Structure 1
């Protein structure tokens, strides 16, 4: 009977003895960083005086990195009212996916878009893909150069185009021979 009692006590006490072994310590262990990084910005300004103006801007950005793949996207919105009438209304879009080939080289696919009611173009969209190279990469500065073929679509705003501008009043659907993108990011 004493052997059964001792065996039972050991079984009951064993989780308490080994509990410390399974509890993560906060001293040196850190949780791995999340592969998803997000940013949200929102701003509003109102001015009054000789002219009254109100502006609204918003930005949403996200980056997902796992293994050799990196995907990032961004949406920006800006709206401006002057004296009660809308003066600007524009949106910018960016979506890019990269695949690392080496420590500094990568292949990329990119979409960049712009929509506006009051600029020279209602729509301006570019799709490209190609080769990228990280020229400089530190904690505070990222400089990359990218080159590759692409296609660009533009829809001009004929109401905003003057005779002295270099923008033509016909709709442009010409494929670009080479789109050269250089991105500079300061962290």
Structure 2
């Protein structure tokens, strides 16, 4: 394996990025061929992402069973999503809902239905500007931004692509103070998530 080192003077290929030692690569993303360190993430940040991923998967499985859909879906956290390969750009979303893939197939933007970033002190501008632009350019249809506190998720901003080669448009924000339901949507298909599903504080 290649051990990643700095500085980087020219773009690398996707295969070169994948050859970086996994213990190092898990804290890296690649943007237009240049390796970018990921922001620092707190324990609560990680827990919120995991809770949301689990809640999305549970809701999606229930909908697939109810509707008899032919396609199957799964969720992941902090997995490389290849947005485009020339020059290579891949992000590691905090949570992602995507179509099920064969074991060794690379997860790419074309497979993704919803991509989610959880805000932190260090990531707000990157999530709201840079990653939003990258996900839109890659054609991922739904983008959510989640804010949180010590209790768990407190707000969810939802965006959808306005059309082919278009930016995201904001379609709604839910806040914990508005009631028990965090998400209740019909597109891409019916999904309901409760704020209680997204709590991270210890139960008293």
* Larger relative strand fraction: 1
* Larger relative helix fraction: 2
Tell me which structure has the larger Cα radius of gyration. 1
Q: With CA pairs under 8 Å and 6+ residues apart, which has the higher RCO, 1 or 2?
A: 2
- TM-score normalised by L of structure 2: 0.26
